Structure 1
């Protein structure tokens, strides 16, 4: 008999590929008439291509990538919803998957009936569901509609009830797709609070999200997919940068012509940061309250009306501060030439140890022209008194309340 320990991976994905056959025929009649040429009327699409990784107990993994990169397909393979065309997936423990809006719900059954149906699919007995039923209803906020047919539910009600069942099924592995974006802000906050509770309990979570900030906030590891292949597996910050580099690469590829690459109208050539008085930063950490100047170096190749700015974000990809010329009311020159755009930040009080600098240029309507990410790094002194993204010259005192 084979035994497992807590150190064994909860999920092992070994050389998994998934192929789909795309039919160009529009109807059954077309397929019958073109039977002899059936191979010409279909093509193969590889959604996943030789994907391998392991997920350990207690990890929170973010699956990120462009639209069509294979994220949702991979999540369905992990959950056993669809079968891989090649390779193997090994799982252990109870899995709760929240993959598609209304998946596993029967529209003609009531919310109450669907709770028991979904719970049974997740491996719960009727007695186990009875014990958590009230908690599920309270978490979902469905209330008086629990005995209504779910076909009359809104998309938000679908998601709330499905998520409530999933998180109360005591799963070892929780798979969550982008469906959380359907819920309103209070419910999203409730979901993220529940996910953090799961993290403290040592449960394993795989999250598909288009929000880099959400992945940076909750995930301990990022897997980036591109064209069905893994292009990054590891540090969350590096994964988000890999994703953004892919967006920029695709944007530039979209500007290709038959005659070769098109030179952008505006190109960000670099970014430099110094003290506001022009003195270099040197090798020392930037102290609290320093006056800084961020200079974006740009070259205009063709007459263009444009906007430029920079972003400071954490190593995990969370945007800490943004500023651009439009916000400051600065009109940039449209004539070709080289330009330096200088932004002065007086009395900076960033509390992060390191900030990543990126800079870009867009048209007046927001169409991207050029992006440099990362363009550099800023290292600040530790805030010895507090913690967070900003720091203060803080003080405090204590006094008795009432008479002695």
Structure 2
């Protein structure tokens, strides 16, 4: 268990670049170097993480740990990979009052907000090309974006995801070639973990419905908000942004939210570790408890669903209607992310023609030269500080 923890902890210290980069780091370490599993098995775990809601790269890491050491191995992998980013974002949250008011740090934060515009725009471009190739998928993307821009709410997002799954099931189901073995293979789901996932989701929905007028007033409500978000995020990474903003928007200011998101770009590890920053900011009376509850809640649904389907993924993925439903959901979340690019990211970060020029320049350099994310973080941070000092 300690070996699993140590391997993932060392990756958590240096894994900049988001989910796609994390997948590459995992393959290099666990397939090519350590040979804990082969390429075929690893590819199936990556595919399963795309099929399930939750933090994609962290789910792959959890599954590798599970393959190596059972449930405790999966937990050790999660703790190791997430701990560095959790500690950094928690410390940034609890010390924010000491450094956030300085003009120098305000400039850095503003520069990182501009970086967020670039990174999310690039994520939308990549996801659009990957998930919106057919006309039906493009239409789902456009309609989900329009509706969320006009009616931004968690309930509306949840309804759109269900509708997109139904549309995708009928219109985006591709023909699949089945071997006789796959066609007759039975899907054997782990009902204990499925019941636990569904039970917690229903309880969180009830709790949120009962307390939506009063906001987050206890740890149960905090857990419920983040658990619901973790249950609905398909694609992981930046897709968590619009759902989190809708869910906890009343409990935290837009500026605090975007500061946390900007800082999450600057630390290694999973984007979902943003929950540590938000949990500490929301639960100020005991920030460590708030950070722990929010982080556990947002990661838990994805891990429970991985445990439900790990042993039956081959049979599940062979069913065209299932893959069609997921295709519809993926197209829908691209629309969500496009709406989030406008509100809250763009309108909170781009405040002048100079800001827009920096975004265009950054996006162009990002697409042409594809620099390391650490270089981008440093470049936008320094630029923001300089602009704040000499112009602001």
Q: Tell me the TM-score normalised to structure 1 length.
A: 0.24
Q: Tell me the TM-score normalised to structure 2 length.
A: 0.24
Bigger CA radius of gyration: 1
Structure in which a larger fraction of residues adopt helix? 2
Question: RCO (CA 8 Å, sep 6+): is it higher in 1 or 2?
Answer: 2
